[in-house]
A and B are shown apart, each in its own frame.
Chain A
């Protein structure tokens, strides 16, 4: 939310401005009534809007769900799985990571971190409970279970 700026609209509500990495300018007008307008600014005339979408309160909620909902539910699931000090975590294997390309056995994951690898998802194909021959391919999603500090070590070894 670093690039969001707010302006007051007296009698109406407030406007929030947002710019994307591409340089696209977006604005959201939050009406006091709960209505939202999503505005796309014009590149020729940056003070005017090229298009405006009007959303009722429930429609705005639906759109928000679509835009940010999956990340949110991931967070919720992450918290839900934090039971009695044991945490379940999703991690992505990044290129250039110390353990990228190596097998679970070679990396000595168990003795290094103390966590168990529950599954490795590679290109949508899941290998559940992989043995020592399971490979941390670049771009794979690794689901691991263990103590938070162990998972932190694993996260460090899997990131570039």
Chain B
């Protein structure tokens, strides 16, 4: 912002016009996406690809401001995610959902990890791709459940519990990633990871225990005062977290968890619109940096990964719903609802900006999210029949059994 103020008045005019045109463009995309019942995230990403580096039309934005705005977008995304669940819901989710949560982690973290290693991105790149494939888009999923009138369905608690668990995994994953991205020797890295995790755990426990007093301190009658103090707190805690290499996003997330009661609800109302604005800038900036020419080489890998991790998410949802005694159709619905990946996959990929893994990870993650942010909601809406692992195994066994082989031989003869 200071950069804009310091620049000449014609520069300011240009910056305003460019930024305004960008935001209007995003507004049109959001409107179109909502009309067809899709998340606007893939549209933002596509817009960034078209207008960015090496795209169809190249636009130069007042970079410093948008850079900062997009960083704030990440903080607000994580803050609102933290707000979504109360401390009690998080501890409850951990207690009740650990089984499905671990299945989710095993089934959806592993494909990304293996793919990253196969693509030769090294352990760090693989770890980041694992995060990208692991986390469902809680924004898209909960909006889907609402839009499709599924909040009362009996499989829905299992879906929501998975989202809560993923939330907690992010609280451990992001600090580890933050430290690893800074780099250093194995020993110093291990120490930093330990420190980062203990700080996060400590603050998490404090936030859950001390949520009341913190909220009471922030409580203000005027919306203006509440907005400013919460926003300020997010930035300060985010900055402090970044200082101790825990990642600013986690700081914002913890602030979200710490708020409770009436302050929590009002903060959600006040800051969600801000999040929508800044997060839109973040998504578009993320893909502006990507040269569309880099997409075709990664497209096959991204599509394959999307296919595999769509199936593994479906299996996860089926497992989680079965834990609650839900019937086959409900299990399918739970599985398909979880397929969508979105904002947090991009947040993870965005953390790689400026590091060695960035050039390969960013286009892959963009393509991956473009596919699943569109396919996920469509799957959830139409629930096409997808064979379960059991039925596939049975079919395979039947196909392998000797009498079947004879019959097959006859047919071909």
Q: Mark A100-117, 1 if CB is under 8 A from B, else 0.
A: 000000000000000000
Contacts of B160 in A (CB 8 A): 9-12
**8 Å CB contact of B152 from A8, A33, A49:** A49
Bound: A52/B329 CA distance, A: 18
Contacts of A39 in B (CB 8 A): 149, 151-153
Instruction: Check if A47 sits within 8 Å of B89, measured CB to CB.
Output: no
Q: If the complex has contacts A45-B330, A47-B327, are A10 and B92 also in contact, measured as CB distance less than 8 A?
A: yes
Cβ-based interface call for B64 (8 A): no
Q: Mark A101-137, 1 if CB is under 8 A from B, else 0.
A: 0000000000000000000000000000000000000
Instruction: Check if A46 sits within 8 Å of B157, measured CB to CB.
Output: no
User: B interface, by DSSP: helix, strand, loop or mixed?
Assistant: helix
Rounded to whole Å, the gap between the CB of B270 and the closest CB of chain A is 14
Contacts of B92 in A (CB 8 A): 8, 10
**8 Å CB contact of A7 from B142, B157, B163, B333:** B157
Rounded to whole Å, the gap between the CB of B43 and the closest CB of chain A is 25
Q: Mark A1-45, 1 if CB is under 8 A from B, else 0.
A: 000000111111001000000000001110111000101010001
**Size class of the A contact interface (CB-based, 8 Å):** 20 to 34
Bound: A5/B164 CA distance, A: 22
Q: If the complex has contacts A32-B265, A45-B327, are A15 and B152 also in contact, measured as CB distance less than 8 A?
A: yes
Rounded to whole Å, the gap between the CB of A127 and the closest CB of chain B is 49
Instruction: Check if B329 sits within 8 Å of A48, measured CB to CB.
Output: yes
Rounded to whole Å, the gap between the CB of A87 and the closest CB of chain B is 42
Contacts of B156 in A (CB 8 A): 9, 15
Contacts of B138 in A (CB 8 A): 11
Instruction: Check if A48 sits within 8 Å of B151, measured CB to CB.
Output: no
Contacts of A28 in B (CB 8 A): 152
Q: Which of B348-369 contact A (CB under 8 A)?
A: none
Instruction: Check if A10 sits within 8 Å of B164, measured CB to CB.
Output: yes
Rounded to whole Å, the gap between the CB of A19 and the closest CB of chain B is 13
Contacts of B104 in A (CB 8 A): none
- Total interface residues in chain B, CB < 8 Å: 26
Instruction: Check if A10 sits within 8 Å of B151, measured CB to CB.
Output: no
Instruction: Check if A45 sits within 8 Å of B152, measured CB to CB.
Output: no
Q: Mark B111-128, 1 if CB is under 8 A from A, else 0.
A: 000000000000000000
Instruction: Check if A10 sits within 8 Å of B89, measured CB to CB.
Output: yes
Cβ-based interface call for B150 (8 A): yes
Instruction: Check if A48 sits within 8 Å of B142, measured CB to CB.
Output: no
Rounded to whole Å, the gap between the CB of A2 and the closest CB of chain B is 20
Instruction: Check if B157 sits within 8 Å of A15, measured CB to CB.
Output: yes
Instruction: Check if A12 sits within 8 Å of B326, measured CB to CB.
Output: no
**What is the chain A residue whose CB lies nearest that of B333?**
A48
Contacts of A15 in B (CB 8 A): 151-152, 156-157
Rounded to whole Å, the gap between the CB of B67 and the closest CB of chain A is 31
Q: Which of A48-87 contact B (CB under 8 A)?
A: 48-49, 52
| Subset of 17 A-B contacts with CB under 8 Å | A8-B157, A10-B93, A10-B160, A11-B142, A11-B160, A11-B163, A12-B151, A12-B160, A28-B152, A29-B152, A37-B152, A39-B149, A39-B153, A41-B152, A47-B153, A52-B149, A52-B152
Instruction: Give the 6 A-B CB pairs with smallest separation, nearest first.
Output: A47-B330, A39-B152, A47-B154, A10-B89, A52-B149, A27-B152
Could you tell me which A residues sit within 8 Å of B by CB distance?
Answer: 7-12, 15, 27-29, 31-33, 37, 39, 41, 45-49, 52
